[in-house]
Amino acid sequence: MKNTIMKYCLIPFSIFVFLNISSIVPDPAYGQEKLKGPSSISKEEIPDWQARWELARVLSYVKRYDESVAEYNKLLKEKPALYEARAEMANVLFWQGKNAEALKTLEQIPAADITGNTSVLMADLYVIQKQYEKAETLYRGYLAKHPDKHKVRLKLAQTLSWDKKYDESLAEYRTILQAFPDDIQVRRKYAFVLIWSGKHLEAAAELKKTLR
Amino acid sequence: MKILTFIIMLLCVSVVTTIAYHTIQADLVHFRKAEKYFSRKEYSRAIPYYTSLLQKNFRRPTVLYRLGESYIASGNFKNALHVYEDISKREPTNSSAQDILASIYMNLGDFEKAVEIYKSMVSSEPLNRSTRIFFARALTAQGNLDEAIQQYKIVLGETQ
C-alpha cells in the first residue's frame, strides 16, 4: 500500500518540484552575453563598391557628371552585372547629352532587365536615333504595365506618327484625349496627325476646338 | 499515512515557496518573461514588461537596450529615441548606442542631429569606414552634398 502511494505521489511531486526549480533558478546566461547591449541592430559592413555607387549618385546630383560617370565605370568594372547602376549611368550620360553613349550603355543590359523608367529612357534614345520600331516596342511594353502614364502614351503616339503609322498614332491620341479632353496641345498634335493622314475635315474640326 | 502527510507537506512548501518567489522577486519573473518574448521576436509583448521594469527601477543595463531594440524592431522610432537618448546620457562613450541613436534620427528625418552624432563619431574614430559612410549618407540626406562627396572619397581613398 505504502509503495503504491509512493509511486503515485512521488512522481508528480518530482515533476512539480523540478518545474518550479527551473523557473526559480536564474538563467546562467544573465549577466553574460545578454548584457552586451544592442546586438540585433549592429551596423552592417558596407563594401567599397556600395560606397562607390553612392558616391557616383551624389556626384550626379551636383551635376559633376564626368566624375559621376568615372565612378560608375569603376563600379561596373568590378560589378558588371549591376544593371541598376548601368541604367543610372545611362541616365547621367543622357543628361550630359551623350545620347549615343547612353544608348550603348543601355544595350549592354539584358532585355529582361530593362524595365520601368529605364525602358522609357531607352525608347527616347531610340527615337533620337530614329529607330522608331524599337522605341515603339519599348513604349508599348511600358504602357502595358502602366496604362495611365499618358506622357509616355503621348511619346508613343508621336513616335507612331513619325513612323507614318497614322491610324495607330491617332488611336493613341484618342485614348489620351479621352482622359484629357481639355488638353489643347495634345489636341493640336492630334489634328496635325489627322492632316498628315489626309483627314483634313476632321483635322479642321479638331483645330477649331482648340481655338475656343 | 505518515508518508502521505509528508508528501502533502512537501507539496505545500513547494507551492508556498513558488508563490513567495513570484511575489518577492516579481521583477525578476517579469524580466524573464520579457526576455522570453524578446528572444521569440514578439517585441510588442516584451515592451510592456521592459517598460514596467524600468518604472520599478529594475536596474539591469539589458532592460534599456532590450526596450530600445524592441521599439526599433516594431518600428516605433519615437519611443526608441527616448530610450537611446537615455542610454546616451548614461553612457556617453558608448559608440554603439551613439550609432543607433544617429540611425534613429535618420529614420525620423532629423538629419542635422544624425550628422552631428556621426561627425563626432568620425572625429573620434577616423578609421571606422562604416561610420564614415553613414556620415556621408546623413550629409546627403541633409543636402550637404559636397561634404558627402568628400567623405565618400575618404572612404575610397580618393582624396588628394
Give B-chain residues touching A28 at CB under 8 angstroms: none
Mutate to test the interface with A, among B133, B153, B155 (most CBs of A within 10 A): B133
With bands split at pLDDT 50, 70 and 90, how would you rate the model's confidence at A38?
Answer: very low
Quick one: average pLDDT of A150-174? Answer: 98
- In 3D space, the residue among A38, A49, A61, A51 whose CA is nearest the CA of residue B104 turns out to be A38
pLDDT at residue B135 tops 80: yes
Query: What letter does residue A62 receive in the DSSP assignment?
Result: T
How many angstroms away from the CA of A7 is the closest CA of chain B? 11
pLDDT at residue A144 tops 60: yes
Q: Are B82 and B70 in contact (CB under 8 A)?
A: no
Interhelix angle A116-128/A99-107, rounded to 10 degrees, is 130
Quick one: average pLDDT of B116-124? Answer: 95
B 70-129 → A contacts, CB under 8 A: 72-73, 94, 96-97, 99-100, 103, 129
With bands split at pLDDT 50, 70 and 90, how would you rate the model's confidence at A33?
Answer: very low
Nearest C-alpha in A relative to B96: A38
Mutate to test the interface with B, among A42, A46, A60 (most CBs of B within 10 A): A46
Residue B3 has a pLDDT of: 79
Q: Tell me the three cell numbers of residue A26.
A: 536564474
Give A-chain residues touching B18 at CB under 8 angstroms: 20, 23-24
pLDDT (tens digit, 9 = 90+) per residue, B33-87? 999 999 999 999 999 999 999 888 877 778 989 999 999 999 999 999 999 999 9
CA–CA distances in Å: residue B13 to residues A6, B7, B25, B42? 18, 10, 17, 34
Across chain B, mean pLDDT equals 89
DSSP, collapsed to helix, strand or coil, labels residue B74 as: coil
Q: What are phi and psi of A172, to 5 degrees?
A: -65, -40
With bands split at pLDDT 50, 70 and 90, how would you rate the model's confidence at A27?
Answer: very low
Largest CA-CA distance found in chain A, in angstroms, rounded: 115
